[in-house]
Amino acid sequence: MNEIIGKFAREGILIEDNAYFRLREMDDPASVSSELIVKIKSNGGKFTVLTSEMLDEFFEIDNPAEIKARGPLMVPAERDFDFEVISDTSNRSYTSGEIGDMIAYFNSRYSSLKNLLSKRPELKGHIPIADLRGGEDVVSIIGMVNDVRNTKNNHRIIELEDDTGEISVVVHNENHKLFEKSEKIVRDEVVGVHGTKKGRFVVASEIFHPGVPRIQEKEMDFSVAFISDVHIGSQTFLEDAFMKFVKWINGDFGSEEQRSLAADVKYLVVAGDIVDGIGIYPGQEKELLIRDIHEQYEEAARLFGDIRSDIKIVMIPGNHDSSRIAEPQPAIPEEYAKSLYSIRNIEFLSNPSLVSLDGVRTLIYHGRSFDDMAMSVNGLSHERSDLIMEELLEKRHLAP
């Protein structure tokens, strides 16, 4: 629990939001809190909720600016939001868990990615695997990767399958560029292969991924701020840094140039792990300041509620939040985060989700698959998450 709130709570005193924000901005909030508790107790302890008005009364303030409430220097403006949810799987990501559901999923994955690959000029003449003949023909095929392994001579074998059959694709190590490219191929992704049919094999001369088309940059007269992994409730939560961020986005912190940038912010995207959660990993309780999931979200509401109201906040869950672990994750359930849901400028969506921010299509994803990619693909690591992002874009899948 936050130190200030905890200090009052231990004495049976609740604290109102405005009073809390004013206390937090003082030079020595811990000492001031102790003095307030003494004054309340000496007054018979009749107050159970500390309000902003009581601060004025206790300190007999002639100049209220001496103890000021947190508030943005930037007055919230009336804004028109052209906000559209293109894809939110919160209520569409449940199955009965039968084998048929899994088969349908992989068939959908295969057909969707195959259609994208089919549009590549290099694969226009692709043929089903079952139609491959025995001669040495130049061929193009599209299939899902069933397995990847190296031979004893250090060539690479990629087992491909489509809805008609299977074939082994050979990547010779003498083809250094292609061999290096094939190191990043993983099971269950869908690729296209151009090569020569030799007996039971296709010897690859090129491998194609679905990729993403280049898009023309859109002129924007506003800015979007992106944050994630706040982990409210953890001992490692960087509250001072977060409060500086809130001050900045409210126009209350930074240089003139930085404040000007803050004034342009129209959307704030929070990409998961708003709180640290409970029972996420063994021994986590030893690292928590707030050990109740509802209280963690209460604190999150207190913190995010201080952001000026003319910014639309788009919030998705991460693996530490109270949504299920399996992706796609539905939006954070309201039952755990009622105070957050009461903040009118917050939009809760699934992980991942796709939105349009004033015409700019924006994919929001927490990135749990980064762990799998970093651990299973040569040349990728958490230190270079940009390379992981590039690979996911090439594969056209967030969890290949």
Q: How far apart are CA 75 and CA 81, in angstroms?
A: 17
Which residue carries 């998705």 as its tokens? 316
CB atoms within 10 A of CB 304: 22
Residues 6 or more apart whose Cβ sits within 8 Å of residue 197? 132, 133, 134, 135, 136, 137, 138, 139
Token pair for residue 241? 């840094």
> What is the reported pLDDT for 72?
46
Which residue carries 């990729």 as its tokens? 211
Phi, psi (degrees; rounded to nearest 5) at 339: -65, -40
CB atoms within 10 A of CB 186: 15
Assign 164 to helix, strand or coil.
coil
- Per-residue confidence of the chain (400 residues) as pLDDT tens digits? 467 787 787 777 888 777 777 787 776 777 788 878 877 777 665 557 788 777 777 766 434 444 343 344 465 666 789 999 999 999 887 777 789 988 998 999 999 999 999 999 999 899 999 999 877 689 999 999 999 999 999 999 999 999 999 999 999 999 999 999 999 999 999 999 999 999 889 999 999 999 988 877 878 889 999 999 999 999 999 999 999 999 999 998 888 999 999 999 999 999 999 999 999 999 999 999 999 999 999 999 999 999 999 999 999 999 999 999 999 999 999 999 999 999 999 999 999 999 999 999 999 999 999 999 999 898 899 999 999 999 999 999 999 8
Pairing mode, strands 223-227 and 14-15: unpaired
Assign 116 to helix, strand or coil.
helix
CB atoms within 10 A of CB 374: 16
Residues 6 or more apart whose Cβ sits within 8 Å of residue 308? 72, 74, 76, 249, 250, 251
Report how far apart, in Å, the C-alpha atoms of 37 and of each of 10, 14, 28, 58, 194 are.
Answer: 10, 11, 15, 11, 76
> What is the reported pLDDT for 67?
37
Assign 67 to helix, strand or coil.
helix
Can you say whether residue 25 is alpha, beta or left, with left for phi > 0 and alpha for psi between -120 and 50 degrees?
Answer: alpha
